[in-house]
């Protein structure tokens, strides 16, 4: 028997073998041989999982470093009545019962099995066109579904980004205008970088038979939609959807990421957060990143991802900076930030000096001799409060904010206000005729301007009743007769 000669491996050779093993192993993750993957189409989907869908402004948890899955998306179409603004009802057509529809979060390489159900109580057929889909109609051709039926189709997500989905049943514009849109996120293989807070915000324009603020159930107006004459431009389906108790929240020092979409159907959004600068913007929801951005343009049927770190506390207002849409049609939201002040970043008012340049004129209040017609009178205190809140959100919110807290050193608070509660006749007169010059409210001096408001007696009675019965005030009820008496000088 011939003896076997053993050959020992030198340390240098062993190092080469280990290095080669590491290189080979790195090409295989979770059983995937990455050397054989040449495009996102080649990424295999592993076990099946059900997608977590969330209602706005919430988003599902990040995909992080999970591998591609067979992702089951189960979505129901619902036609249901909701409130567009206080006293204004509207029948929304929805994906998942909300406007915008449920947020869908996927990972590059996922194989999505989409179940689209049309509730049997609905009146119309619908479908879905997902801009993240590579295929006929973005899925619309495969998903046309009648009430009481369910359609199932599948697709593979090939391109990372933030995409709009919407109904594409004829007339397409009408289905979108009634609220049938949402966002689907396709995360890259490595996932998105971690942030502290993530929110879902989507703009849309609405067209009603009645004019802005007309109460009752308002049907869709096709001619206004064709003319692109929107009565309402809103975030997340209604006026005030992101204000008051529904405001977004964060803490000083946190990084906030907003997934912002624009369902349209017509208007482009000039998205801006007052008092913040976007550190990063994923332009049009894609790979291109712009930095240090003040306002980003989001087309109808488009999206953007914006990120910023909040450095100081306060109320930061989200707007479409086509600014009359924000303060007159509803495209306005709020981010409330809590935490310690940082005077190195923002000091607040330091002094208030008198400035009287030579030749300067005396400031006068804008006025009009036109008295607007009174609207349908409130039939109860509850209705007066409801209608008053509507006027407040349209007219007073920008200066006095959602809870009457005002803006420090600029606009006085209406909440628990000694100045307001001391004299209701004076309050009516200020709304009618405006006010300029210095006043003292709750021990603080304010020297600013409030313009006269072109409101009817009924509207002034409603909004002042709402203010007096909110935020710790005296609970007075103001009537149209009281307003008429002040207007006439009696």
Q: Is 212 annotated as a binding residue?
A: no
Q: State yes or no: is 272 an active-site residue.
A: yes
- Catalytic member of 63, 98, 106, 131: 131
| Segments in 109-249 forming alpha helices (H) | 140-143, 172-177, 222-227
- Catalytic member of 63, 79, 111, 126: 126
Q: State yes or no: is 149 an active-site residue.
A: no
Say if residues 326 and 319 touch (Cβ distance below 8 Å).
yes
Say if residues 180 and 95 touch (Cβ distance below 8 Å).
yes
- Segment holding 374, helix H or strand E: none
- Catalytic member of 111, 113, 166, 459: 166
- Catalytic member of 279, 295, 311, 386: 295
Q: Is 166 annotated as a binding residue?
A: yes
Decide: helix, strand or coil at residue 15. helix
Q: Beta 255-264 vs 197-206: how paired, if at all?
A: parallel
- Catalytic member of 46, 115, 212, 321: 321
Report the 10 Å Cβ neighbour count for 472.
10
Q: State yes or no: is 321 an active-site residue.
A: yes
C-alpha 467, offset from chain centre: 26
- Catalytic member of 174, 180, 334, 450: 180
- Segment holding 326, helix H or strand E: helix 324-329
Distance CA 60, CA 206 (A): 27
Q: Exposed, middle or buried, 4 (CB in 10 Å: 0-12/13-18/19+)?
A: exposed
> Which residues have C-beta within 8 Å of that of residue 284, sequence separation ≥ 6?
298, 299, 302, 303, 304
Q: State yes or no: is 41 an active-site residue.
A: no
- Catalytic member of 129, 231, 276, 375: 129
Q: Is 400 annotated as a binding residue?
A: no
- Catalytic member of 98, 106, 174, 175: 175
Q: Is 321 annotated as a binding residue?
A: yes
Residue 88's DSSP bridge partners are 85, 216
Say if residues 222 and 283 touch (Cβ distance below 8 Å).
no
Q: State yes or no: is 131 an active-site residue.
A: yes
Decide: helix, strand or coil at residue 485. helix
Q: State yes or no: is 166 an active-site residue.
A: yes
Q: State yes or no: is 129 an active-site residue.
A: yes
Q: Is 393 annotated as a binding residue?
A: no
> Which residues have C-beta within 8 Å of that of residue 60, sequence separation ≥ 6?
51, 52, 53, 54, 103, 104, 105
The annotated binding site is made up of 126, 131, 166-167, 175, 180, 321
The annotated binding site for Cu cation is made up of 126, 131, 166-167, 175, 180, 321
Cite the active site residues: 126, 129, 131, 166-167, 175, 180, 272, 291, 295, 321
């Amino acid at each position: 028997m011939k003896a076997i000669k053993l050959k020992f491996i030198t340390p240098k050779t062993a190092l080469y073998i280990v290095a080669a093993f590491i290189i080979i192993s790195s090409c295989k993750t979770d059983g995937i041989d990455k050397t054989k993957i040449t495009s996102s189409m080649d990424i295999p989907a592993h076990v099946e999982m059900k997608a977590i869908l969330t209602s706005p402004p919430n988003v599902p948890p990040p995909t992080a470093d999970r591998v591609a899955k067979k992702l089951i998306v189960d979505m129901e179409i619902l036609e249901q009545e909701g409130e567009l603004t206080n006293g204004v009802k509207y029948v929304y057509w929805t994906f998942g019962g909300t406007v915008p529809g449920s947020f869908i979060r996927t990972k590059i390489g996922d194989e999505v099995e989409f179940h689209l159900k049309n509730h049997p109580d609905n009146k119309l057929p619908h479908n879905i066109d997902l801009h993240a889909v590579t295929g006929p109609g973005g899925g619309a051709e495969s998903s046309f579904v009648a009430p009481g039926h369910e359609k199932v189709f599948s697709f593979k997500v090939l391109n990372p980004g933030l995409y709009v989905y919407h109904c594409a049943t004829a007339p397409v514009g009408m289905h979108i205008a009634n609220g049938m849109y949402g966002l689907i996120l396709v995360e890259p293989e490595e996932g998105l970088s971690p942030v502290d807070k993530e929110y879902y915000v989507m703009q849309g324009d609405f067209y009603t038979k009645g004019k802005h603020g007309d109460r009752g159930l308002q049907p869709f107006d096709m001619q206004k939609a064709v003319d692109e004459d929107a009565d309402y431009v809103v975030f997340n389906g209604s006026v005030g959807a992101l204000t008051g108790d529904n405001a977004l929240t964060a803490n000083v020092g946190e990084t906030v990421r907003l997934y912002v979409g624009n369902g349209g159907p017509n208007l482009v959004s000039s998205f801006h957060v007052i008092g913040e600068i976007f550190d990063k913007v994923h332009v049009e929801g894609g790979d291109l990143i712009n930095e240090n951005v003040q306002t980003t343009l989001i087309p109808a049927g488009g999206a953007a991802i914006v990120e910023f770190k909040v450095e100081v506390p306060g109320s930061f207002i989200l707007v479409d900076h086509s600014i009359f849409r924000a303060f007159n049609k509803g495209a306005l939201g709020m981010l409330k930030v809590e935490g310690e002040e940082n005077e190195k970043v923002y000091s607040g008012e330091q002094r208030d000096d008198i400035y009287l340049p030579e030749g300067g004129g005396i400031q006068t209040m804008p006025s009009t001799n036109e008295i607007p017609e009174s609207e349908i009178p409130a039939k109860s205190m509850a209705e007066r409060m409801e209608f008053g809140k509507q006027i407040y959100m349209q007219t007073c919110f920008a200066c006095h904010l959602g809870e009457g807290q005002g803006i420090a050193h600029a606009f006085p608070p209406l909440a628990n206000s000694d100045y307001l509660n001391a004299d209701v006749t004076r309050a009516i007169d200020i709304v009618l005729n405006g006010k300029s010059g210095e006043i003292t409210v709750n021990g603080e001096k304010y020297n600013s301007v409030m313009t006269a408001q072109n409101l009817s007696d009924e509207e002034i009675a409603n909004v002042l009743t709402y203010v007096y019965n909110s935020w710790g005030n005296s609970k007075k009820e103001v009537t149209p007769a009281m307003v008429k008496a002040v207007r006439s000088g009696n």
